[in-house]
Every structure is written in structure tokens, then in C-alpha cells.
């Protein structure tokens, strides 16, 4: 079974440049737990140029959540901002970086959307 979170971050690292982040500079660290603390995902953004590593380094924005929830976010089944608002994702540092970064998450699938066929 493919790990959706790993696939998301590895694809982001391979792409190297994200036009949606061309006005963004900063670093984010995603700390995901699945019963135990996993190695973090560290994202560096420099005007759209994106690099991803597993470094446990100081970041401008840190997001902490359950890996299952984050898997749902990268699959388009959960909304990152809604998760922040309900307290399922804890953040510290610059929240604007997370707001900008969430543009890269896939949107919801057509399943369950009013007016759409499954």
C-alpha cells in the first residue's frame, strides 16, 4: 500500500517549483503522529522553489496532527483549514505559511458533493 503522505511530499520535492507559491518565502515543519512520533517533513519555499526533507529543523511554521488526518488531507478527503479551526491541527509560528501551503492540497473529490454524481 502506498503512503499518501510520503507520495505527496516526494512529488512536491520532485516538482521543485510551485507557481501557486511564487510570492511565498519560508519554512514549514509537519509533525505527524501515528501512535508514535514520526520523522517530520520539512518544507522550504523560496518564491515558488520548493524543497522537502525529513530534517527536524527550526521552521517558521510548525503543524502537528495525526498522520491519518493528514493522509485524508493529501487525498482530498479532509480540509486543512477546517481541521485547524476545529483544533485537529495544532500550529505555531507564522500561520500565513500554512494558509499559502494548503493551496497545494487536492480539493475534495466529487463523491458526496451536492449535485454531483458519485
The closest alpha carbon to 30, from 109, 111, 101, belongs to: 101
Domain boundaries, the chain: 4-104
The closest alpha carbon to 88, from 111, 72, 106, 108, belongs to: 72
Q: Which residue(s) pair with 91 in the sheet? A: 63
How high is the pLDDT of residue 19?
92
Does 3.40.50.720 match the CATH number of domain 4-104? Answer: no
Q: Output the pTM of the full model.
A: 0.85
The Cα 48–Cα 23 span in angstroms is 7
Strands 49-53 and 41-46: antiparallel
CA dihedral sign, ordered 27, 53, 89, 102 = positive
Task: Note down pLDDT in tens along the chain; length 118 residues.
Answer: 589 999 999 999 999 899 999 999 999 999 999 887 777 999 999 999 999 999 989 999 999 999 999 999 999 999 999 999 999 999 999 989 999 999 999 877 644 444 434 3
The closest alpha carbon to 107, from 81, 77, 84, belongs to: 77
Amino acid at each position: 500500500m502506498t503512503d499518501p503522505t510520503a507520495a505527496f511530499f516526494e512529488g512536491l520535492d520532485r516538482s521543485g517549483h510551485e507557481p501557486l507559491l511564487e510570492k511565498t518565502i519560508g519554512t514549514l515543519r509537519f509533525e505527524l503522529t501515528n501512535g508514535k512520533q514520526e520523522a517530520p517533513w520539512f518544507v522550504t519555499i523560496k518564491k515558488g522553489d520548493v524543497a522537502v526533507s525529513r530534517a527536524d529543523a527550526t521552521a517558521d511554521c510548525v503543524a502537528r496532527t495525526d498522520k491519518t488526518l493528514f493522509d485524508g488531507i493529501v487525498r482530498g478527503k479532509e480540509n486543512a483549514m477546517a481541521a485547524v479551526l476545529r483544533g485537529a491541527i495544532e500550529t505555531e509560528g507564522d500561520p500565513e505559511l500554512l494558509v499559502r501551503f494548503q493551496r497545494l492540497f487536492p480539493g475534495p473529490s466529487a463523491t458526496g458533493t451536492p449535485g454531483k454524481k458519485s
